[in-house]
Amino acid sequence: MKSQTITLIGYLLPQERLKLRLWLDNDLHCPSLKVRKLGHYILEKISELQVGLIEKKTLFHFVSGDIPYNELRINNLLSNLQEVVLQFITFVRRSNDQFANLLDQSLELVDRKAMHFVKRSLRKIDQGILANSQHSYEALFKKEQKLQLEDILHLSEKPHDYSPALQHQMDTLDEYYLVKKLRLACEMQNRSRLIKEQYTIRHLNHLLPLVQITATSNPCISLYFLCLKMLTNRRDQEFENLFKELKISSAFFPEQELRVLYGYLLNFGIDKINSGQSIYYQKIFSIYEAMITSRLIFSNEYISEWTFKNIVTTGIRIKKYKWTKDFIERYKANLPQKDYDNAVAYNLASLYFAENDYSASLQTLLGVEFTDATYFIGAKIIQLKSYYILKESEAFFSLIDSFKKYVSRNKKLSANKILSNQNFLSMARKLYKLRSTKKLITKKSWDQKSKDFGRKLEKLSPIANKDWLKTCYDELN
């Protein structure tokens, strides 16, 4: 079993692992030579992709030599190394946050009564805030903290004078509170829709008049207020209003918050599609286009395999085949390496199938071992549909049998997922046989079998790929 410490190091980016080597070599960060040696050994094996094969005994003897194996000792060394790595991760986050560093520095200087140096720190904070003049709840939080420092400084110099910083701090805190309240309210409304459980948003109705007034002068409050109205009222126009404002706001709103707000738009659109409004496929496509242009689909230059799949699926749904193929070719290099083979093969196969190039679709899936159940099931369904269309009877029925065993034995699938796929396979088998008998029996007999199939298909639930089954059934008739 891989240790938690090795798993933790595996989460680090390649450039972070290089910095961790330097961190381990510093006596202040890692005083134990054995912990240091253990850390370097694991980092070396991770870079060679051999880390999953390392046993604790191997680690112990590498660090301690030929003395008898002691599991408690290696566990303690791994635990100590884990603490060093966690401290490093904290340092990485802190070192990337100049404001937090300057704030901590200023508060330490205040405690030491070194107010002249506090002034210098405040000037640097001002320069940083101006350089990153974004309208966000985080920016309001930083502004309130900075104003608190200004008030402390003012009080130290002019204890009996009016402090503008104190007034500004209160005003900024009011704005920050409203933004934070709206952000949480949006998240509650979004999750309530997903989990079918209502959260209680207290005091919001009393605050809405104040929100409406403040929204005219604060873009951040305005955006979250628009979002809350969309998530609460579920109206198309509010969706359009938020999308329009988000495209305008991309220049002065931080990426992290934009991703969250675009995520709400996507969830709203998917909800509309699930309720039968297929026009929202085009709207979702427009959202993805905007996110690609502003590079919001990337995280550390990577695209998650599921974002990649969702974009491809959307492009296929609205028949933007050339655009979709260009997207796959252009951005497949941005997939995480561990997901690359599965994601590229599955999405290309989906595209070829949509273009009616069934042979190319099947060829793309050959030789790919799908490790994720979602990809595996999706790939097998593409193969099954292709065999049906190409009238490959032997391959079709053989795949149904093996697919059925996989679904039944896979313990990671939910009961609903298992049943919906089993029902699909059962109806796909009946559909193929129905088509095969059309020219072998009387029209009256076939019509009766066809009606029986249609009634069963209509009533059966849950069932995966019902639309495809219905389309094939309609074509038979």
DSSP assignment of 88-145: HHHHHHHHT-HHHHHHHHHHHHHHTT-HHHHHHHHHHHHHHHHHT---SHHHHHHHHH
Q: Alpha carbon of 134 to those of 126, 142, 213: distances in Å?
A: 13, 11, 21
Q: Nearest to residue 98, comparing CAs of 75, 55, 70, 130?
A: 130
pLDDT computed for residue 4 by the predictor: 87
> Using CA atoms, how far apart are residues 59 and 78, in angstroms rounded to an integer?
9
In our burial notation (b when 16+ CB lie closer than 10 A, e otherwise), range 95-109 reads eeeebeebbebbbeb
Query: If you compute the radius of gyration of the chain from its CA atoms, what whole number of angstroms results?
Result: 30
φ, ψ (nearest 5 deg) of residue 465: 55, 40
What dihedral angle (degrees, nearest 10) is formed by the CA atoms of 401, 407, 411, 412? Answer: 150
pLDDT computed for residue 416 by the predictor: 87
Question: pLDDT 10s digit of each residue in the chain, 477 long?
Answer: 568 898 899 889 889 999 999 999 999 999 999 999 999 999 988 866 555 567 888 899 999 988 999 999 999 999 999 999 999 999 998 888 888 888 889 999 999 999 989 999 888 888 876 556 567 788 888 889 999 999 999 999 999 999 999 999 999 999 999 999 999 999 999 998 877 788 999 999 999 999 999 988 888 999 999 999 999 999 999 999 999 999 888 777 888 889 999 999 999 999 898 888 989 999 999 999 999 999 999 988 899 999 999 999 999 999 999 999 999 999 999 998 888 988 999 999 999 999 999 999 999 998 778 878 888 999 999 999 999 999 999 999 999 999 999 998 888 888 888 999 999 999 999 999 999 998 888 889 989 999 999 999 999 989 998 989 999 999 988
pLDDT computed for residue 301 by the predictor: 86
Q: 309 forms bridges with which residues in the sheet?
A: none
Q: Nearest to residue 383, comparing CAs of 45, 372, 370?
A: 370
Q: Is this prediction's pTM over 0.85?
A: no
Cβ–Cβ under 8 Å, residues 161 and 154: yes
Q: Nearest to residue 428, comparing CAs of 381, 394, 390, 461?
A: 381
Contact residues for 219 (Cβ-Cβ < 8 A; gap 6+): 135, 249, 252, 253
> Using CA atoms, how far apart are residues 463 and 477, in angstroms rounded to an integer?
21
Tokens of 418: 């298992």
Tokens of 361: 């679709």
Q: Is 441 helix (H, G, I), strand (E, B) or coil?
A: coil
Cβ–Cβ under 8 Å, residues 189 and 232: yes
φ, ψ (nearest 5 deg) of residue 299: -135, 115
> Using CA atoms, how far apart are residues 326 and 197, in angstroms rounded to an integer?
41
Q: Alpha carbon of 111 to those of 105, 107, 149, 165: distances in Å?
A: 10, 6, 12, 19
pLDDT computed for residue 52 by the predictor: 59
Cβ–Cβ under 8 Å, residues 258 and 296: yes
Tokens of 54: 């390392």
pLDDT computed for residue 38 by the predictor: 94
What dihedral angle (degrees, nearest 10) is formed by the CA atoms of 122, 125, 127, 133? Answer: -140
> Using CA atoms, how far apart are residues 383 and 363, in angstroms rounded to an integer?
10
Break the chain down into helix, strand, coil percent, rounded to 5. 75, 0, 20
Looking at residue 251, the DSSP 8-state letter turns out to be T
Give CA 138 to chain center in angstroms: 21
Cβ–Cβ under 8 Å, residues 106 and 120: no
H-helix segments, 132-235: 137-157, 164-195, 204-215, 219-233
Burial class (CB in 10 A: 0-12, 13-18, 19+), 231: buried
